[in-house]
Amino acid sequence: MSRSRIFTWRSLLTISIVLGLVLLLTITTILAVIRPPRTNTNLLLFPGIIYQRFAFSQPRPVMIHVVTIALNTPGVRALVTPRISTSPDMKIRARTTSEFVNEFDLQLAINANFFSPFYEKTPWDFYPKSGDLVNVVGRAISNGDDYSIIDRNWPTLCLSVNNYAQISDNSICSAQTIQAISGNLILVANGQAVTLPKNSPLNQKPYPRTAVAINQTGDKLWLILVDGKQPFYSNGVTLAELTKFIINLGADKALNLDGGGSTTLVVNSNSQAKLLNSPTHTLVPMRERSIANHLGFYALP
Q: What is the pTM of this model?
A: 0.90
- Which percentage of the chain shows pLDDT scores above 90? 80
Question: How would residue 7 be classed by pLDDT, with cut points 50, 70 and 90?
Answer: low
Domain boundaries, the chain: 1-34, 36-298
Better pLDDT: 153 or 86:
153
Q: Stretch 84-111: mean pLDDT, rounded?
A: 92
Residue 118: alpha-carbon gap to chain centroid: 16
Residue-wise pLDDT for 61-90, tens only, equals 999 999 999 999 999 999 999 998 777 788
Answer yes or no: is pLDDT of 31 > 90.
no
166 C-beta neighbours (distance < 10 Å), count: 17
pLDDT at 151: 72
Answer yes or no: is pLDDT of 299 > 80.
yes
Question: How would residue 290 be classed by pLDDT, with cut points 50, 70 and 90?
Answer: very high
CA distances from 290 to 78, 133, 239 (A): 20, 11, 24
Q: Are 14 and 28 in contact (CB under 8 A)?
A: no
Question: How would residue 250 be classed by pLDDT, with cut points 50, 70 and 90?
Answer: very high
Q: Residue 135: in which H helix or E strand, if any?
A: strand 133-136
Q: Where are the alpha helices (DSSP H) in 105-238?
A: 201-204
Strands 115-116 and 49-56: unpaired
Q: Stretch 180-196: mean pLDDT, rounded?
A: 97
pLDDT at 22: 53
Residue-wise pLDDT for 190-249, tens only, equals 999 999 887 777 778 999 999 999 999 999 999 999 999 999 999 999 999 999 999 999
Of the given ranges (36-50, 53-67, 76-90), which has the lowest mean pLDDT? 76-90
199 C-beta neighbours (distance < 10 Å), count: 7
Cis bond upstream, residue 197 (ω within 30)? no
Q: Residue 17: in which H helix or E strand, if any?
A: helix 3-34
